[in-house]
Amino acid sequence: MSRHVVCRVDELPPGQHRIISVRGRTIGVFNVNGEYHALLNRCPHRAAPLCQGVVTGLITSPAQYQRELTRDGEIVRCPWHGWEFDITDGRSVFNPHRVRTRTYEVFVETAPPGEDEDPDADAAGAQLVQATIGPDDPDPTLETYPVEVEQQFVVLYLGQSKPAARPE
Amino acid sequence: MEHGTTALAPRGMDLGQPVIDTDIHCNVPNVRALFPYLSEHWREYITYSAFKGPVDTAYPRGAATSSLPGTSGPDGEAPGTSLKLVREQVLDPWNVELGILNCTYAVESLHNPDTAAAMASAVNDWMIAEWLAEEPRLRASMVAPSRVPEMAAQEIDRIGSHPGIVQVFLPVVSEAPYGHRRYWPIFEAAQRHDLTVSLQFGGAPGNPPTGAGWPSYYLEDYAGMAQVFQTQILNLVVEGVFDHFPRLRIAMIEGGWTWIPSLMWRIDKDWKGLRREVPWNTMPPSDYIRGRMRFSLQPLDAAPDPKHMLQLIEQIGSDDVLMFSTDYPHWHFDRPEEAVPAGLPAELRRKILSENARSFYRFDK
């Protein structure tokens, strides 16, 4: 299990996704209506960069010749051959039981990043929450109060199993 | 034209079991044969206008691939006009338990819908009276005025519950692909009467038999008919005909079948990325073909090596889709031994010779 801070929550609003590189693989991290999901950026068909495809919805047919766009924002179409995958579980639409791509756990957590293995993300996180006092700062003898900026981060977990307990 | 030569008169073959022949042609000898089944008005109309019946160009008389020599009557009657010959040349020598008559009376070539409907009804009543009533081994595909699907549906409702009528006959070359909504009244009526629908070699005169327009030679028309069958299959599947009519079954008669695997591979592959165009399709296209379509065995576009034929059937992925046919009196094989691929496993052979048709046409009911 490894833990990777992806970005600040406000950097990944609903409907957006970003593709990050983690431990030699690229992964798409999606914000679908406020819920976060991560897919391996690799179509099981021909290894195309799946997450670079169009994010769309599921077209269903309530009756013959009627088409309805449902679950808008929850489907990604592979940019190569148009195979559709459910962002929430990595399963293909046309054969969900046999054709699917890898998914990962994503959580929203409060800093500090702690055991984060990604030094870049670590540094970025630290920068955001640390304050230093320089020579031009106000007189330190003045009465001051400790201030902590609590910032929420999107955190990705790589590994075989889910985290035992979701960090608060 | 030479009639009555017995040089290649069809011979039957003991296949070791009774067979169900899914394609036996019967032909209306001349338009006057239908007079007992036409109203006074239509008899007068036909006589007055010197109408000789619709022109079917699919099997030009005398063309080498048309009919086996020896199938014409003693007085030059066209092949397929005599029940006596059908008994002697097909039903008895092939040990036919049940045979399905297909009459290629091209009512779809008639542009007046009332004429087409009247002629279709007459042909159907003629088949019922002069073939089915006379020969218990026969069943029939009914002719339908398919240019006006509502009228075709009326004809299906008129005679569709007759126990000898098992199928609705449509020519494979049509004005538009049959999956289009305009044709749905036909499928609805067929399903209502639990009839299968068959698409049969040939077609509505006036429409080119290829997607590239009119070819120059009969050879192209004949050999190229497989592409029309493929077009119809694709359209029937993606328009959702099988989704919309859950009990509908469709037979492809006299169109060949060795091209099925590549068609299945192609459409399944493309469907994975284009599924959202046709979201009413609930399964891969090939599953509709295997599940709801059947194919007559002849013409057998035979690979010379029996093991290749077996491979083709394996590639189709189902032992259920092929149904024995002689396609009498058409000429697809010179020797009876060529009627069925050699080297088929016993169970598969039994299914092709009778069981697939028995279950498709609900002959057990």
| CB-CB neighbors (< 8 A) of B244 in chain A | 64
Q: If 0-12 CB within 10 Å is exposed, 13-18 middle and 19+ buried, where does residue B307 land?
A: exposed
Band of residue B348 on the pLDDT scale cut at 50, 70, 90: very high
> Chain A residue with minimal CA distance to B275?
A94
In B231-281, the DSSP E strands lie at 250-253
* C-beta atoms of B272 and A83 within 8 A: yes
CB B292 within 8 A of CB B265: no
Q: At B191, phi and psi to the nearest 5?
A: -65, -40
3-state secondary structure of B209: coil
> Tens of pLDDT along B47-56?
999 898 887 6
Q: Which of B266, B275, B276, B278 to substitute to test the interface with A, most A CBs within 10 Å?
A: B276
Band of residue A163 on the pLDDT scale cut at 50, 70, 90: low
| Helix ranges (DSSP H) in chain A | 119-129
Residue in this structure with the two tokens 């019967």, named with its chain if needed: B26
Band of residue A137 on the pLDDT scale cut at 50, 70, 90: low
CA distances in angstroms from B176 to A123, B119, B226, listed in the order given: 66, 22, 16
Across B24-43, average pLDDT:
97
Q: Indicate the average pLDDT of chain A.
A: 84
- pLDDT greater than 60 at residue A118: no
DSSP letters, B93-140, are TTTEEEEEEE----GGG-SSHHHHHHHHHHHHHHHIIIIITT-TTEEE
- What is the value of pTM for the model shown? 0.87
Nearest to B276 among A65, A84, A95 (CB): A84
Element spanning A39, H or E? strand A35-40
| B184 reaches A (C-beta below 8 A) | no
| A48 reaches B (C-beta below 8 A) | no
| Helix ranges (DSSP H) in B128-209 | 149-159, 184-192
Residue whose C-alpha is closest to residue B273's, from A82, A114, A7: A82
Q: Which of A60, A94, A97, A98 to substitute to test the interface with B, most B CBs within 10 Å?
A: A94
> Tens of pLDDT along B92-125?
999 999 999 999 999 998 999 999 999 999 999 9
In angstroms, the CA B151 to CA B62 distance is 34
Q: Indicate the average pLDDT of chain B.
A: 93
- Counted residue by residue, chain A has a size of 168
Distance from the Cα of A4 to chain B's closest Cα (Å) equals 33
3-state secondary structure of A84: strand
| pLDDT: which is higher, A126 or B163 | B163
In angstroms, the CA A38 to CA A41 distance is 9
In angstroms, the CA B202 to CA B103 distance is 12
DSSP letters, B286-315, are HHHHHHHEEEES-S----SSHHHHHHHHHH
| CB-CB neighbors (< 8 A) of B243 in chain A | 64
In angstroms, the CA A74 to CA A61 distance is 17
| pLDDT: which is higher, A128 or B172 | B172
| A67 reaches B (C-beta below 8 A) | yes
> Tens of pLDDT along A26-79?
999 999 999 999 999 999 999 999 999 999 999 999 999 999 999 999 999 999
Question: A residues 75-134 near B, CB within 8 Å?
Answer: 78, 81-84, 92-95
Band of residue B207 on the pLDDT scale cut at 50, 70, 90: confident
Element spanning B143, H or E? strand B138-143
Distance from the Cα of B266 to chain A's closest Cα (Å) equals 13
